[in-house]
Structure 1
């Protein structure tokens, strides 16, 4: 890295790759005599997020770069965001054949997830139209409120049921083979996985996540609905924690389910939702980071689904 100041500040104009960006951010922190912990305290970012941003293995999220440079180091973020764009383009060009194959393989899941989100939106619109129709026919607002509360109670029970079911899913076929092998069990060489075996596991898992998404439509508490949405995000993008923290899908799923169960239980008892655990926050950050990587590779923005080498 070069510098754009005689005093040793790194020059973001020289950044062209993920490695350059990471080195520049690291040099910027060192120049300002800031530790990752200090930047985390200034920005509210997780320590793991900052560590990942300066290790050069991937392109961090755009807002992560903005927070580190602006809030953490007190510098103008514009040149660094331009550098982020260059690093992102370079990452897209250098995407490996394996990553591209994983992306193609995951497109079906992406489409399924978008379809689920569309059905979710339609369900919300139908519910609002139904309530408007009831109001036009003279039903009182109080009566509608009672009905909405009753639906929310049923939905909460359903959410608890689905979360329990998700916690009881066995690990995926590939993960199970790896666990047994590492435990010293003689499972022989890694088999060529039958698509039917992996697909069956994926379908079971996806159907429960979709059902959880639909059940949350009738949850009337915004904070609980957001907590459930975060849990779903983590389970759909479990490739992020797997890639960046070596965290197995089953561990990510349990962290997501436990956080959602604790929040739903507190809501049912009329209590405030508990604070998010460090494990939940870190896992969510890795999942969000993975979504950003998918967008970089595919050139798209804002789509949500599970993809990649997520065969279990």
Structure 2
């Protein structure tokens, strides 16, 4: 029997600082609000291919008390593929996460499945495969699901829920233009940065030719490493533009490639009916 617990603890909790209203004078916030109003429901199936270099998990770690460096994890280069699905309703979200887990003691990739769903009132976390300890499901008295706000889903969440702080990577009304531009895909993309946040230095380059969606996102971490995400779009008759592929690369402070992720949207549905039951996991 599936064990279910009601949790109000901050397990998986994320730090979210939100602006209550869009900045109507800013074209990026205005475009995000327009897209969100046009999209009542959305569902995406995305294929991910991830490369992890040997030692990428322990890169930059401090020596052990013995003075030795930690054993490199993973011990060898790893490449893995999987499919994820992400769905949105009116104030609702579901994320089926099939990313393999990296075992901390061996560095091996472990197949597992996690399902996160919010009905706009409660959030449900279900671990039907690969849960090693504790209950395989629980409910939180909180509608937020921090896992949806990860960088690898940012192209999707910022496209259809760019003004929803509970689901998007960063709400576009919270970004501040710097006045600088960078040429990407033949367009002078406007540079934006966080006005608030705890992710280190994070920069966005928004493309006016694709409704001020991000062409590039770059996070510079405190240790000098950084993640760079580059995104491609295709026209869409409802949303205007939909991300089709994106690539994320994490480099160490010395320029070594630690992780590279390629994402390809294999299926997308906009404003197709989604049953309420999809956002309400029923534990047995």
Report if TM-score (shorter chain) is over 0.5.
no
Between Structure 1 and Structure 2, the one with more strand by share is: 2
TM-score scaled to structure 2, two decimals? 0.24
TM-score scaled to structure 1, two decimals? 0.22
Larger radius of gyration: 1
